[in-house]
């Protein structure tokens, strides 16, 4: 694969999208509560929730949650349905798919730069990478949109949503979405460039069928 500027830009942006998605996916600062609120809720990630002496009013056990823990852990089993509404589970699924696709695309772009792809498949490979990046960007955009809206409007979810704010893990997911879209744009343009280049190389020369004939000399 030719190391054109578009090729390198698409690969670098894909790698950044993958990196930011991993960081957003693995950190627990999607949503945080202002310290002054004292609502019992501290912060939330895709897979971890932190509380400060919080008691869920519908928990028949009356358990007090005063720690950070994995959302799917046994300790959070009594409040699992409340802590994980359907829309939040959908966000988790979309972020997981975005992480897988971004990682696969970053690896494919790296293999392309290292010339592991046959020359006659280069444009198809770049087109495939661009499609994967566009899907990744769409998943990230949908995930952050749903989370941003529902975290603010779902009054049956975490306490005092008016005192909660989107934190830096959420911001990383937003930035990753932009990187994915820009990477897809670079890769699809690069795919068109490579296709045009291949057609020009395979096109017959304008004078390839023209043969010069030797004219015998004429003497008067």
- Provide mean pLDDT across the span 9-33: 95
What total number of domains does the chain contain? 1
End-to-end CA distance of the chain: 62
Domain assignment present for residue 10? The answer is yes
Q: Is the pLDDT of residue 205 over 80?
A: no
Angle between helices 86-113 and 168-202 (to 10 degrees): 40
- ∠ at Cα 216 (211, 217), nearest 5°? 135
**pTM here?**
0.84
Residue 73 has pLDDT above 70, yes or no: yes
24: in domain: yes
Q: What is the pLDDT of residue 209?
A: 57
Tokens of 83: 């802590």
Q: In this structure, is residue 191 part of a structural domain?
A: yes
Among 77-81, 93-97, 120-124, 154-158, the range with the most confident prediction by mean pLDDT is: 93-97
Query: Which of 91, 95, 106 minimizes the C-alpha distance to 137?
Result: 95
Of 3-12, 92-101, 188-197, 209-218, the poorest mean pLDDT is in 209-218
For 33, 55, 81, 82, 181, the CA distances from 77, given in Å and listed in that order, are 22, 14, 8, 10, 38
Contact 55, 64 (CB under 8 A): yes
Domain range enclosing 130: 5-31+80-201
| CATH number, domain with residue 92 | 1.20.140.150
The predicted structure's pLDDT at residue 172: 97
Q: Is the dihedral of CA 77, 53, 166, 49 positive or negative?
A: negative
Higher pLDDT, 146 or 77: 146
Q: Does the residue 61 lie in any domain?
A: no
Average pLDDT over residues 167-195: 93
pLDDT band at residue 54, thresholds of 50, 70 and 90?
confident
Six-digit token pair at 170?
A: 């959420």
For residue 156, what pLDDT is reported? 83
How far lies 28's CA from each of 70, 82, 167, in Å? 10, 18, 9
Do 25 and 147 contact (CB within 8 A), yes or no? no
Does some domain include residue 54?
Answer: no
pLDDT of residue 1: 42
Residue 219 lies in a domain: no
User: Do the domain assignments include residue 56?
Assistant: no
Higher-pLDDT residue of 55, 70 = 70
Cβ atoms of 52 and 40 within 8 Å: the answer is yes
Task: Share the mean pLDDT of the chain.
Answer: 86
Is the separation of the CB atoms in 105 and 147 below 8 Å? no
Alpha-carbon gap, residue 50 to 166, rounded angstroms: 15
Domain assignment of residue 104, yes or no:
yes
């Amino acid at each position: 694969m030719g190391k054109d500027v578009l090729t390198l830009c698409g690969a670098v942006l894909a790698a950044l999208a993958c990196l930011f998605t991993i960081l957003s996916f693995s950190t627990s600062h999607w949503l945080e509560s202002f310290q002054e609120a004292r609502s019992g809720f501290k912060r939330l990630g895709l897979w971890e929730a932190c509380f400060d002496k919080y008691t869920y009013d519908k928990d028949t056990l009356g358990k007090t949650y005063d720690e950070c823990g994995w959302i799917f852990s046994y300790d959070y089993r009594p409040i699992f349905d409340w802590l994980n509404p359907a829309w939040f589970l959908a966000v988790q699924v979309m972020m997981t798919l975005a992480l897988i696709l971004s990682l696969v695309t970053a690896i494919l772009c790296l293999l392309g730069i290292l010339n592991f792809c046959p020359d006659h498949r280069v444009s198809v490979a770049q087109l495939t990478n661009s499609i994967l990046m566009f899907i990744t960007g769409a998943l990230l955009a949908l995930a952050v949109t749903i989370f941003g809206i529902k975290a603010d409007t779902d009054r049956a979810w975490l306490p005092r949503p008016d005192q909660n704010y989107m934190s830096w893990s959420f911001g990383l997911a937003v930035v990753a979405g932009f990187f994915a879209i820009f990477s897809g744009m670079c890769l699809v343009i690069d795919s068109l460039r490579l296709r045009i280049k291949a057609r020009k190389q395979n096109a017959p020369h304008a004078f390839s069928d023209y043969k010069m004939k030797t004219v015998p000399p004429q003497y008067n």
